[in-house]
Amino acid sequence: MFMGEYQHNIDEKGRMIIPAKFRDELGESFVLTRGLDQCVFGYPMEEWKQLEEKMKALPFTKKDARAFTRFFFSGATESQLDKQGRVNIVPTLRKYAELDKECVVIGVSNRIEIWSKSIWEEYFAQSEESFADIAESIMDFDL
């Protein structure tokens, strides 16, 4: 399980250190793709395969299903860590998430998310204000 929040920098070549606590869980090979809310999602290969199976089950006759599948899979790239524990984030994902220097890597249960520090801070501040309302609206899920 991925959890926690870590600050890291991305270099001019697009390389960023993945927190040591996340490396083993991600495995030798993992997938980075466009995430929701303007971040990059990172999935261990086994999680990615499960997600892929669920996405295949979406009805291709539905416009929203086609659009989401295109968005999600077109941005996906198989990635590995180098000997220093860095991942090279491809230019299309860096541009999408506006990753240029300071980044935040968070653990979100079955995936990691890579955020631009400024976008993360703005998102967190906005979400923090409505956290109680959000919690109340999902309490039906027996949390």
Query: For the residues of 20-31, what is the DSSP string, one character each?
Result: HHHHHHH-SSEE
Measured CA to CA, the distance from residue 91 to residue 99 in angstroms comes to 9
Structure tokens at 130: 């409505």
- CA-nearest of 47, 48, 40 to 10 is 40
pLDDT band at 114 (very low <50, low <70, confident <90, very high): very high
| Structure confidence at residue 138 (pLDDT) | 76
What tens digit of pLDDT does each residue of 61-112 get? 999 999 999 999 999 999 999 999 999 999 999 999 999 999 999 999 999 9
**Domains of the chain, with CATH numbers?**
2-141 (3.40.1550.20)
> Which tens digit of pLDDT belongs to each residue from 6-61?
999 999 999 999 999 999 999 999 999 999 999 999 999 999 999 999 999 999 89
Those residues with Cβ within 8 angstroms of residue 26's Cβ, 6 or more apart along the chain or in another chain: 18, 42, 44, 81, 112
Give the per-residue pLDDT at 136: 78
